[in-house]
Structure 1
Amino acid sequence: MLKRKLASLVTALALAGAALTAAPSTPAAASDNGLSIRPAMGWSSWSFVRRWPDETKMKAQADALVSSGLSAKGYVYINLDDFYQKCDANGFMVDSFGRWAVDAAKFPSGIKALADYVHAKGLKFGFYVTPGIAKNAVTRNTPVEGTSYHAADIADTTQTHKNYNCKNMYRLKYSHPGAQAFINSWANQMASWGVDYLKIDGVDATTIADVEAWDRALRATGRPINFALSNNLPIAQAATWKRLANSWRTQGDVECYCGPGPNGSGFPLTDWSHISSRFNSAASWQPHAGPGGWNDLDSLQIGNGDQVGINADQRRSHMTLWAMAATPLLLGTDLTALTSVDLAMLTNDRLIAVNQDGVAAQRIISSGVNQVWRKREANGDYIVALFNTGTSGASTVGVTWSQVGFSGPAEVTNLWSGAAEGTVASSYSATLRPGETRLIRARPTATDRYEAESATISQGVVESNHAGYSGTGFVNYDNVAGSSVSFQVNAAAAGQASLTLRYANGTTVNRPMTIAVNGTSTTVDFPVTGAWTTWQSATITAPLNAGANTVTATATTANGGPNLDYLDLASTAPPPSAYEGEAGALSGAAVVSSCTACSGGSKVRFIGNAPANAVTLTVTSASAGPREVTIAGTVGGTRSFSVSANGGVPVTATLTGPDFNTPVTTTVTVPLNAGTNTLRFFNDTAYAPDLDRVTLG
């Protein structure tokens, strides 16, 4: 009878699958330009170089990004920020088509030559602009390139845009076709120079039309250009920023402008108050981040040793928050003066992996100076960060595994040190110095268990007078229809899951209950077990949403429900065996490109020809030992590539195909650890095939 009823429950829940797996609210779609599948990594000129960029300084920072080993870790952007332009009393000087003129005294070889220099090092080049059209363009009435329109046709001279340098930027009349044509011409110029990343500054709720115009223009160039918005964008328009761009600044500048030089330049670049203020904004913006679009907390100010500004504990907390929030890691410090302490922070593979996992963490505890953040990665591991954000006094910060999102013991690894901390039963705590952090990986070692005595009980009591229960007791339902126990369970991903209810029924009649999963319910009997000390389990399969779910067991007769011990949750889906190339961490010139015939519709191009141009995938293996790995890619002819597992000795193979549109496969064998592993695909001397996906045998 129970088996038949459970089968009916499974069928009913399967029919309701669409309703059960729908998220409470549908998040806005991320930009579909194929870029920033993972947060960008690199360096930006604003924090250290500030208002005085030039060709020599930019080249020196590019050189240091490579020689320090940072580029090999994925820091590949060299971004030129503001003050590269030439101005007069009326604002920005312009070229013959009304676009900002580059100051030839600062950049005598031109921007293209600088971008070429950056590219030759296996890096990517970033640039800067603000909305609108310069007053000088309107005064000269410069033509719009490729059209019969002129600046005076498209400028609204009654309104100006925000600008932090030469000011005098008129708004554009996007009702006129020449306005989009003007932005197109500017974007085309940047693409011809080799720009890979564009920051548009001065964005707010009144500039949505400008952001839309730049998004259209960048796509039309045919060049992949990572599109970043700045700064202090209003969260009310979060869905818009996510639709149009690859990142958006959630606050004002992280720089303190408290140095001894002009305009507050020089060291310190920042202070703890400017870092710690990011905790609240990161928590508020968290739901809006994901592959293709990221919350930007501003530059990472690590690289000046213990000189001034933020001490070593605070810098580690700075790095930890940026990693947990999955924000772009764009360094703002002087790369030519890196200290060994800071370089070790910036190149910590475990921290980089947390940033690049494609998940923005949630804040689950905020109490005084104590904060705890958590995220669940694709392989089921939980990453937990504990912080003491205070400036004086140690504080003990703790969290239970149930607060993190699972029950039962977990294997804990300290991600800053790499040290294994063993099996931790049900909670974790650390006594932290002011400004200190603790970052751990918690890998649950058992099925997630939800004790009934810890659930929400309506018309029932917790008792412990019948032996054999788990935990501290069980729930004795009141003998009334409608008495219930409601569990809040967490699933790593949407999909089918096994729900096991442990119960005892010492009466002589079945005690049916309605089982509701996220509000959709069906009824199932709970037969007699012979005694109240005889416990049995009933397992059903139901579709769960990713994240939080509510499972409620409600009595349907005046007899109430059986005694209920716990609910166990176990996913019925095996760990992923296939991993898309575009989901990996891209470094150097590697870039995501569309591919109709490829799995997921995308692939990774420009792998190889330099050590920096690589793809690193994080994969999960159930056990340690040799494992077959099938690589799918596209290539016209034959090309070789290497695969390195966990930084070990690489295995070299070749892939032969008819063209770059038709995926072909080859298989190699590599040694994997039990649990999480990294697979790096590269070719130091020649181009490798384009990478579609990887499948573990």
Structure 2
Amino acid sequence: MRSRWKALALTAALSAALLAPEATMSTAAASDNGLATKPLMGWSGWGFLQRDPTAAKFKAQVDALASSGLKDLGYTYANMDDFWYKCPGSQGPDVDSNGRWVTDESLFPGSGSRDGMQVLADYVHGKGMKFGLYVTPGISAQAVAAKSRIKGTSYTADQIATTSSASNFNCKGMRAIDFGKPGAQEFIDSWAQQFADWGVDYLKLDGVGPSKTADVTAWSKALDKTGRPIALNLSASLSASSTWSPLANSWRIDGDIGASPRGYSFPLTSWANVSKRFDDAAKYQPYAGKGGWNDLDSFGVGNGENDGLTPPQRQTNMALWALASSQYMLGADLTNLDPGDKELLASKRLIAIDQDGIPASRVIKNGDEQVFAKREANGTWYIGVFNTDTTSSHTFSLPLAQLGLSGSAKITDMINNDKPLGTVSTYTTSVAAGGVALISAVPTSGTGGTGALVSADSGKCVDTDGGNSYLPGTKEQIWDCNGGFNQMITPTSTGELRTMGATECLDVYENGTTPGTKVSQWNCHGGSSQKWTVKSDGTIVAQHSGLCLDVVGARTGNGTGLQLWTCNGGANQKWSWDH
């Protein structure tokens, strides 16, 4: 999450900036609050336990997470999902005297004064891991009927509830909250504090979306107030916008990965549920970044034939999640791991690709071929060539210059034990049905064409504001050259100037053709507003307008923006490459 302390002020501003990108946004104020600096890793209880969790079943998975060695590889969150609380029927969850859900202690026994969830959290913490819990928006209809007193106030549940229902997919019986009413925020505050007192480290807020932004905001504020670092995950199928990044640490971008019938744990997933995430991974890519990550849901990998995927499809599941820098959560029965699946789950290469925190962009979608790629700060590229045809293998040829990697590169197979695949400028490979060729590509000479663009007028570099933002509309400017990730520009053979790990493009606002049109960062889409010609005289010309890339007002100070202007030979329109 990008600083929840600033979330309330930023939410509206960030949303507006997407609608009006000419007011290019700065993310400098959205400082990270220390949580989820990299995508979170762990195990989610919904994938396998689903509707039948118990303390014993949950502890068995926690034990397996530790004994399998997966915890030591970074899978440190153990997250309880739905059905931990008492749900007698459509009247809503049972509640305590302050209107908050009551733990079902027939499934999760307490100990002395400790609640059953606190007992479970203590167990997880004792294994050196972190404990996650589940909640949904609103307040139980039982609390409303009982006029439960909101802790620390004179207000009651009926005074903050509306007549509308709030999302609770399984238990039902939740009523929406009017956050304009006194006592509404205090109710969420008291609930969040209870979770903090139990030792919760991660909270999944399910059933939210654009209509529940007030609930998300309230929970975000409340978790901050507890003083305990609690990561906030939002679910499910949230909109592709900048609304969520100031408020949460991760957000589900699609429905459940699971494909099992109600009452069953298997299959963990299906090809349909994995393959639909190609488009969403590309669509949501710009909204991820340090502190807040896209969540493609837990893996459907771990239990062999019970996965619901072929072995090549399992590799695709893991590779797509890693390239996207998605939240990286297991969902399998960890007490019965398939040896081949475990090798994938424990792959240090895949984990490193995920944990680099660079959400890859989709470079190619053509028939059965999809290609996602990203460039590391050290110059190494990670490239996934996917075959979405589940009936037969296909051979694909990928000119590396299409990504922005000029010259040749040393290719290494990242799934099959770092197998060297030679040095090429065009990568040709046969990909199994539903499978992936996941490679690293290291330029054999220099940076492979990537470098800093230096202004002849000021000696400063083209710079993406904020340093770690992939958001559309982020300001492009000049700044003292520092070799930073946000100052590395990658020219492609199609005329793009890519930045931020070669995942975003320098873009002319609304394809403008008049002097003064702003140039900012935007997700690469192949349109004419992102096509440039780098000329031998040092100018960079927008192909659709013939105007030059220009430093506004010929100013030389840090933070001066970029625009299009009539080419005039001025020093503020001359650029050189520093490789």
TM range (shorter): 0.7 to 0.9
> Structure 1 residues 295, 513: closer, same or farther in 2, change over 3 A?
closer
State the AA in 1 paired with 2:364: I
Pair 1:403 & 2:433 matched: no
Cα deviations by residue, 1:588-639 (Å, 9 ceiling, x for unpaired):
xxxxxxxxxxxxxxxxxxxxxxxxxxxxxxxxxxxxxxxxxxxxxxxxxxxx
Partner SS, residue 177 of structure 1 = coil
> Structure 1 residues 250, 404: closer, same or farther in 2, change over 3 A?
same
- Give the deviation of 1:358 after TM superposition: 0.7
State the AA in 1 paired with 2:269: T
Q: Which of 119, 128, 136 matches 1:122? A: 128
Contact 2:137 2:215 in 1 (8 A): yes
State the distance in 2 between where 1:553 and 1:428 align: 40
State the distance in 1 between where 2:82 and 2:185 align: 23
State the distance in 1 between where 2:494 and 2:281 align: 31
Name the residue aligned to 1:458. Answer: none
- Give the deviation of 1:352 after TM superposition: 0.2
Partner SS, residue 51 of structure 1 = coil
State the distance in 2 between where 1:401 and 1:41 align: 31
Pair 1:293 & 2:292 matched: yes
Name the residue aligned to 2:253. Answer: 250
Contact 1:162 1:169 in 2 (8 A): yes
User: In terms of mean alpha carbon deviation, does 408-417 or 314-323 score higher?
Assistant: 408-417
Name the residue aligned to 1:86. Answer: 86
> Structure 1 residues 551, 124: closer, same or farther in 2, change over 3 A?
same
Contact 1:364 1:372 in 2 (8 A): yes
Identity within the alignment, % = 45
Name the residue aligned to 1:70. Answer: 70
State the distance in 1 between where 2:290 and 2:331 align: 24
Cα deviations by residue, 1:258-292 (Å, 9 ceiling, x for unpaired):
4xxxx152321211111001000010000101111
Contact 1:302 1:342 in 2 (8 A): yes
Name the residue aligned to 1:519. Answer: 549
- Give the deviation of 1:397 after TM superposition: 2.1
- Give the deviation of 1:311 after TM superposition: 1.3
Pair 1:377 & 2:376 matched: yes
State the AA in 2 paired with 1:130: T
Pair 1:101 & 2:102 matched: yes
Partner SS, residue 439 of structure 2 = strand
Name the residue aligned to 1:197. Answer: 202
Mapping for residues 442-457 of structure 1, pairs under 5 Å: 442-447=441-446
Contact 1:488 1:551 in 2 (8 A): no
State the distance in 1 between where 2:337 and 2:379 align: 36
> Structure 1 residues 425, 87: closer, same or farther in 2, change over 3 A?
closer
> Structure 1 residues 155, 489: closer, same or farther in 2, change over 3 A?
closer
Name the residue aligned to 2:16. Answer: none
Name the residue aligned to 1:270. Answer: 269
> Structure 1 residues 313, 27: closer, same or farther in 2, change over 3 A?
farther
Mapping for residues 297-696 of structure 1, pairs under 5 Å: 297-307=296-306, 309-421=308-420, 423-447=422-446, 488-491=496-499, 519-520=549-550, 569-571=577-579
Q: Which of 180, 184, 198 matches 1:179? A: 184
State the AA in 2 paired with 1:134: S
> Structure 1 residues 552, 433: closer, same or farther in 2, change over 3 A?
farther
Name the residue aligned to 2:212. Answer: 207
State the distance in 1 between where 2:494 and 2:300 align: 46
Partner SS, residue 442 of structure 2 = strand
Name the residue aligned to 2:513. Answer: none
> Structure 1 residues 550, 150: closer, same or farther in 2, change over 3 A?
closer
Name the residue aligned to 1:586. Answer: none
State the distance in 1 between where 2:394 and 2:32 align: 44
State the distance in 2 between where 1:348 and 1:308 align: 18
Contact 1:491 1:545 in 2 (8 A): no
Contact 2:550 2:565 in 1 (8 A): no
Contact 1:241 1:248 in 2 (8 A): yes
Partner SS, residue 102 of structure 2 = coil
Mapping for residues 129-144 of structure 1, pairs under 5 Å: 129-144=135-150
User: In terms of mean alpha carbon deviation, does 404-413 or 221-230 score higher?
Assistant: 404-413
State the AA in 2 paired with 1:227: L
Cα deviations by residue, 1:53-95 (Å, 9 ceiling, x for unpaired):
1100110000000000000000011000001111224121001
User: Where is the strand percentage greater, Structure 1 or Structure 2?
Assistant: 1
State the distance in 1 between where 2:538 and 2:124 align: 67
Contact 1:27 1:288 in 2 (8 A): no
State the distance in 2 between where 1:161 and 1:367 align: 41
State the AA in 2 paired with 1:184: D
- Give the deviation of 1:347 after TM superposition: 0.7
State the AA in 1 paired with 2:549: G
Partner SS, residue 294 of structure 2 = strand
Cα deviations by residue, 1:135-169 (Å, 9 ceiling, x for unpaired):
0001111111111111112111x211111122111
- Give the deviation of 1:419 after TM superposition: 2.8
State the distance in 2 between where 1:306 and 1:448 align: 43
Partner SS, residue 392 of structure 1 = coil
Which consecutive residues of structure 2, in runs of 5 or more, have no partner in the other structure? 1-20, 111-115, 451-492, 503-533, 543-547, 570-574
State the distance in 2 between where 1:270 and 1:493 align: 31
State the distance in 2 between where 1:545 and 1:394 align: 50
- Computing the radius of gyration from Cα coordinates, the structure with the larger value is 1
Contact 1:449 1:568 in 2 (8 A): no
- Give the deviation of 1:411 after TM superposition: 1.8
- Give the deviation of 1:392 after TM superposition: 0.6
State the distance in 2 between where 1:331 and 1:427 align: 35
User: In terms of mean alpha carbon deviation, does 386-395 or 23-32 score higher?
Assistant: 23-32
> Structure 1 residues 513, 410: closer, same or farther in 2, change over 3 A?
closer
State the AA in 2 paired with 1:435: G
- Give the deviation of 1:519 after TM superposition: 1.2
Partner SS, residue 306 of structure 1 = helix
State the AA in 2 paired with 1:81: D
Contact 2:374 2:501 in 1 (8 A): no
Contact 1:515 1:521 in 2 (8 A): no
- How many residues align? The count is 466
State the distance in 1 between where 2:323 and 2:224 align: 30
> Structure 1 residues 382, 131: closer, same or farther in 2, change over 3 A?
same
- Give the deviation of 1:33 after TM superposition: 2.9
> Structure 1 residues 142, 364: closer, same or farther in 2, change over 3 A?
same
State the AA in 2 paired with 1:315: R
State the distance in 2 between where 1:383 and 1:493 align: 10
Q: Which of 197, 213, 221 matches 1:216? A: 221
State the AA in 1 paired with 2:71: S
Name the residue aligned to 1:563. Answer: none
Contact 2:550 2:563 in 1 (8 A): no
- Give the deviation of 1:444 after TM superposition: 1.5
State the AA in 2 paired with 1:255: G
> Structure 1 residues 544, 95: closer, same or farther in 2, change over 3 A?
closer
State the AA in 1 paired with 2:373: R
Partner SS, residue 153 of structure 1 = helix
State the distance in 1 between where 2:208 and 2:497 align: 40
- Give the deviation of 1:486 after TM superposition: 11
Cα deviations by residue, 1:445-465 (Å, 9 ceiling, x for unpaired):
2246779xxxxxxxxxxxxxx
State the distance in 2 between where 1:41 and 1:514 align: 45
Question: Please, what TM-score do these two structures have when normalized by structure 2?
Answer: 0.75
- Give the deviation of 1:425 after TM superposition: 3.2
Contact 1:30 1:293 in 2 (8 A): no
State the distance in 2 between where 1:102 and 1:69 align: 31
- Give the deviation of 1:424 after TM superposition: 2.5
Cα deviations by residue, 1:481-501 (Å, 9 ceiling, x for unpaired):
xxxx9954445679xxxxxx9
Which consecutive residues of structure 1, in runs of 5 or more, have no partner in the other structure? 1-21, 452-484, 495-500, 504-511, 523-540, 557-566, 572-697
What is the RMSD computed on CA atoms of the aligned residues? 3.2
Contact 2:539 2:549 in 1 (8 A): no
